[in-house]
């Protein structure tokens, strides 16, 4: 399918194979998204021009979708976190996803297989705000058949660097 047709249909180009240097760049950027091109080039043993071109290609290919800050939710005033599982009406995923994306504190949404349909990670100010979110916002959605809330007691970010 030519590039123009793919763009019009919304289809993605086939993924390009990553080599060891690309994977090293990705690992480095996962641990420090603010790393300079110079430091990336030095750590993966390529020229700055090569590092710059590779990072741009990874962005253009959609491998790198963006750069963001890792936030300590508790220090940011969001002391309650929970995974919420949802069973939803069949074929309502797109509608539910849009509604969940609009919720305050929604951090991650996944359509999954198994005993439930959707896995949602939320961060809220406290348990009262979490309760309000689940009972009055999520369970009020027509497409949501049931929910189950799993409180997060402690978490470890595996992509976090040693900084």
CA distances to 25, 54, 56, 109, 124 from 49, in Å? 14, 9, 11, 37, 43
CA–CA gap between residue 22 and residue 58 (Å, rounded): 8
**pLDDT: is 9 or 13 the higher one?**
13
pLDDT at 8 over 60: no
Instruction: Tell me what the mean pLDDT of segment 18-47 comes to.
Output: 92
Nearest partner of 137 among 91, 102, 89, 87, judged by Cα: 102
CA–CA gap between residue 62 and residue 138 (Å, rounded): 31
CA–CA gap between residue 4 and residue 61 (Å, rounded): 15
CA–CA gap between residue 116 and residue 148 (Å, rounded): 9
Q: How much is the pLDDT for 74?
A: 79
CA–CA gap between residue 78 and residue 58 (Å, rounded): 33
pTM, rounded to two decimals? 0.69
Q: How much is the pLDDT for 24?
A: 93
Q: How much is the pLDDT for 163?
A: 41
pLDDT at 29 over 70: yes
CA–CA gap between residue 136 and residue 144 (Å, rounded): 12
């Amino acid at each position: 399918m030519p590039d123009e047709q793919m763009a019009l249909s919304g289809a993605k180009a086939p993924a390009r194979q990553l080599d060891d240097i690309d994977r090293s760049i990705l690992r480095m950027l996962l641990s420090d998204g603010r790393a300079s091109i110079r430091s990336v080039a030095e750590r993966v043993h390529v020229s700055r021009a090569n590092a710059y071109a590779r990072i741009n290609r990874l962005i253009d290919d959609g491998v790198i979708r963006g750069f963001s800050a890792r936030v300590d939710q508790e220090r940011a005033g969001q002391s309650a976190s929970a995974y919420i599982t949802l069973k939803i009406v069949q074929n309502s995923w797109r509608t539910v996803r849009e509604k969940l994306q609009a919720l305050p504190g929604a951090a991650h949404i996944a359509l999954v297989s198994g005993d439930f349909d959707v896995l949602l990670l939320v961060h809220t100010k406290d348990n009262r705000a979490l309760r309000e979110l689940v009972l009055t916002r999520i369970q009020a959605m027509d497409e949501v058949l049931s929910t189950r809330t799993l409180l997060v007691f402690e978490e470890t970010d595996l992509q976090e660097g040693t900084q």
